[in-house]
Amino acid sequence: RTGGLIASREKARKAVSWQKMEKAFEKSEKIEARIVSRIKGGYAVDCQSCLCFLPNSQLSLKPLSGEEIRELMKKPQIFEIVKMDKRRGNIVLSRRQHLQRSIDATRDEEISKLKVGMIVEDAICKALTAWGAFIMVNNIETLCHINEISHSRISAPSDLLRVGQKLRVKIIKIDSDTKKVSTSIKALTENPFNNAV
C-alpha cells in the first residue's frame, strides 16, 4: 500500500532449488541430499533449501538399526525423486530405489559375463529348498533344480548337498527377460544309464 517492496532471499533460493528438482525429476536424475530429522511416517531430507519427504519404506532395501540410521544422517546420500506436487510443495524421495538400481546394474554386468555351457569350478551352495539348490556363481544367485542335481533319484537336495559346499556346475540356461540363471550339477557327470546293458 505504501509502495514499499518486501524481498526474500530464502524464497528465491527455494524457487531456484525447486526448478532444479523439477529438471532432475523430468530427466530421472539422481540427487544428493542430507537426511536432517525423523518425522511421522519417515524422514525430512534437505536438498539445496528444499525440504523433501523420505518415507520409511524408501530408506533402504532392508531394515536398519537406529545406529545405522544415525550414521546415514551424518553424510549426504543419493536419492531419486519419485513424486512432486508443486501445488502442495511436496517432494517425495527414495533412497531404496537408487540402491536397487545399483544392484540391478551390477547384476546385469555380472550376468553378461556368463554364457550357456560355461563350467564354473568354484560355485558355492547358498541355500537348499524342497525343489532345488540356490548356488552362487560369480556373485550371482542361480538355481539348480532338483532334477539337475543327480542322475539318480533323490527325495531332497539335502540328500547330496549342504549349505556352504563348494560345487562344480554348468550353466544351462540364462533368461534374458527375468535375468534368472539355471545351473546343473549332473550335466558334468556321466549318465550311468548310457552304459546300462
Instruction: Calculate the average pLDDT of the chain.
Output: 89
* Phi-psi group of 186: left, alpha or beta (phi > 0 → left; psi -120 to 50 → alpha; rest → beta): alpha
* Cα distance between residue 126 and residue 46, in whole Å: 40
pLDDT of residue 197: 54
- Threshold 0.95, pTM exceeds: no
Taking Cα atoms as reference points, which of 167, 30, 160, 179 lies closest to residue 107?
A: 179
SS3 state of residue 69 = helix
Distance of alpha carbon 95 from alpha carbon 57, whole angstroms: 9
Interatomic CA distance for residues 103 and 164, integer angstroms: 23
As to burial, measured by CB atoms within 10 angstroms (0-12 exposed, 13-18 middle, 19+ buried), residue 38 is middle
| Residue 146 and residue 132 in contact, taking contact as beta carbons nearer than 8 Å | yes
pLDDT digits (tens, 9 = 90+) for 121-178: 999 999 999 999 999 998 899 999 999 999 888 999 999 999 999 999 999 999 988 8
Specify the pLDDT at position 86. 80
Average pLDDT over residues 44-49: 87
